[in-house]
Structures are given as structure tokens and as C-alpha cells.
Amino acid sequence: MAALKSVNRMYGVCFHAARQAAGLKASRLVQHRTFKISSAQLQQPFDSSLEKPQFPGASAEFVDNLEFIQPNVISGIPIYRVMDRQGNIINPSQDPQLSKETVLNFYQKMTLLNTMDRILYESQRQGRISFYMTNYGEEGTHIGSASALDPNDLVFGQYREAGVLMYRGFPLDLFMAQCYANADDLGKGRQMPVHYGCRDLNFVTISSPLATQIPQAVGAAYAFKRQNMNRAVICYFGEGAASEGDAHAGFNFSATLECPLIFFCRNNGYAISTPTNEQYRGDGIAARGPGYGMLSIRVDGNDVFAVYNATKEARRRAVAENQPFLIEAMTYRIGHHSTSDDSSAYRSVDEVNYWDKQDHPISRLRHYMTARGWWSEDDERSWRKQSRKTVMEAFEKAEKRLKPNPELLFTDVYDQMIPSLSKQREAFWRHVQQYKEHYPVDLYEK
């Protein structure tokens, strides 16, 4: 019996010590926890005497009438803008007060992108490159958002954000090298055209599968938060990509993990040939934000100042408060989806002409500059001539450049080439030598 009492006493001491250790460990975990928990998220103490819902999954009240929530309970989200279509500032308090040099840089980048698009689109039509996607009509979303970011912020693009990379300093020579897949291409000729990327400019290489960049961006933003780096991530996508499961997973993870992330949706009216009225039934993409616990805003994507203001404020708060933001930029895709598409099959010429002639982001900014005496017809002619010359020089240089060394087909996957890959390499060269009349190896770097 004495032995039994001794065992019980020892068990009690050990149990008490274990509970103290567990309590200390839990206390330390709480002290080191990096997640911010708002008061709204804290579960209230349970009181069975109160006739209020105690479910941990929602904050609500009981009702005694049967009523389904209408889909338009959140509808008609307003569109924030700073300039009207004639370039006039509507509310002076919203004028970002950018310098003349900054505004001119905006305009020149937007028009340079437009010029590059026209030349590369025509080069594809002539069979010089295999594929291309223009950015016509969406230049304001690129430049307005890119200019509001810190250079150290990480960018995940979809495939229509060339202006973001251009604003960050990506040279025309490298745009051309990528589209031509020549020896100067940073991607070593492995990607199809317009799939740009640049480590030095914090622009993650674009991949074709739709919406894959969204959960990847969440992971990067979560890493920045854990490392307390004061960096943000911006993730671009279209309204069509927002229908992918990756988008919903990314929205939810970013909100629950409280990541410094800006979701930037370019709602340009069409997902290839699918119009928005067939893409979703709710009020666009911004309406989805509250459902995931995200702050959201809808902006006029053809107003570069509205895009700039919204992105700048979202970036500031995302880093300061560790939370995601959703920006829906309303714009219009004036060009075809890509060189593989003929948009005349699903929309009228009059519709396209309206946006091209009446509500174009480049025209709106030019009106703003002209009214201030910052830009004239002579300036326009001179710049258009100069920018076309610059683009053509890069174009001609890229076209003459050799293709990457074929050996690069087998590198950058393994640290050391594995036996199966070595066999593939040997088989490749045997095939090329056997049928060398079909493989112009002289066009490739040795």
C-alpha cells in the first residue's frame, strides 16, 4: 500500500510538472506569435443564458423569419477615379500631385509599350515570331500600379503585364530577346513569347497555366511576413483567372495568414472570348473580397492616377498591417486576346472603337498633360518618331542574334546530369547529326 501511495504521489508530481511545462511552453508560443488577431475574431466567452448564437464560425444574430440572402446583397460597388475622360481632376484632394517629370515618364512608358506591341504583333503576323499578346487599352493599369510599388516588392504577373516590367527598367533589348528566344534571352529560349521574368527586377517568370501565380504569391508574401522584411507582393490576374480554384484558395489563405499582398485584378471585359456576363453572376471581383475578409476597392483602370493612388495606399497598409488587399481595375482589352484569337467573332467593331477612341488611358493622360502645358503636338510627333526608332533598333538587333546553344536543353534541372538525361542528350545529338539537313545548327550558338 505504501508503495502504491508513493507511485501515486510521484505521478501527481510529474503530472503537475508536465502541466507547468506545457503552460510555460504555451505562454512562450503566445509571446512569439506573429499573427495579428483582431477583436472581431476573438470568440466571446460562452454564456448559456444569452439567446445569441455561440457558433465559432460566424458573428451573427438569430432571426425568426425564413429568408435567403440575395446575391446582390453586395452590389453596385462604386468605381474610384481621379480624372474624368477629358483628363480633368474631379476632386482636387485626390490629385496625387505628381511632378511633371513623373507624369511624362508615365506617358512615355505607356506609349512606348503601345509602340512595342504594334511592332511585335505585326512581326508575328509576318511569321517572324511564333506568338504575341498585346496590352492595348490596359496600359494605365500597368504603369499606375507599378509606379506605386517599392522596387523590392515582388511581382507575380499573368501574361499581360509587360508595362510593369518596362516601368521597372527592363530594357527593350531583353523584351525582344525573349520574344525571339535568342541567345540574349534571360530564359535561355525555353519559354514561349511574352513569358517574361527578371530576378534582378523582382519579377517572377510568367507561366501559361491560368491562376497558378495566385497561391504562389500568397506563399511569397507569407515568407516576407515571417521574415519581417517590410516587403509586399503584388499578384496580377484577369477576371477569368478569378474563376479558377487557385484564386479562391489564394484569397482564403492570404486572409487567414494575414499576408502583405495586393491582389490586382484587371477586369478587361473578356476572358479570351468569354464575356463577363458569362463569367460570373455577382458584382464583379471586388465583391468577393469581403467574403474572404479582405479590404477591397474598385478603380477606373483607364485612370492612371486612380490606379496609382489605390495601389500606393494598399501597399502601405499591406506592409504596415500585414493584411491582403483586393483591387479590381475596370478596363477594356482593345486588342485580340492573343495572335491565336480573332475577337471580331464575339464582339463588334463599334464596341472596340468606342474604347479605343473615347476612353483610352493614354488619351486621358495626354489631355491632362496638354491642359497643363506639359505636352504639345510637336512633342507628340517627336516622341512617337523617337520611340518607334528605338523599338525598331532593338527589334532588328534581336532578329539577327543567334539562338541559344542547344546544350541548354539539358541544363538547370539537376545539379549534376543524371544518367537518363545523359542518354536523352546523346540520342538528341545522334538524331541531329543523322538528319542535319533539317536542323540549321549554324543559327545556334556553339
Annotated catalytic residues are: 122, 208, 337-338
Which amino acid makes up residue 186? Answer: L
